[in-house]
Amino acid sequence: MMAKCEEYHEWGVPFCWIADPVKRTAWEYHAGAEPVRVTQMLSAGEYVIGLDELFSAINTVQ
């Protein structure tokens, strides 16, 4: 997944999120920085979402 984000960065995409719905974990990978595991909020410029909100849809599908 990280390699795919690096490819996106090469194309000019500044922000990449990786979310694992099974483990309910997430990472931010912004261009020019190292991937960072997040525990509460994902951000990409002006866009922000809490992990609880992001993963809440899983509870309704099961």
pLDDT 10s digits, 9-54: 999 999 999 999 889 999 999 999 999 999 999 999 999 999 999 9
DSSP assignment of 33-62, as one string?
A: S--EEESSEEEETTEEEEHHHHHHHHHHH-
Domain coordinates in residue numbering, the chain: 2-61
pLDDT in the model for residue 2: 85
Model confidence at 57: pLDDT above 80 = no
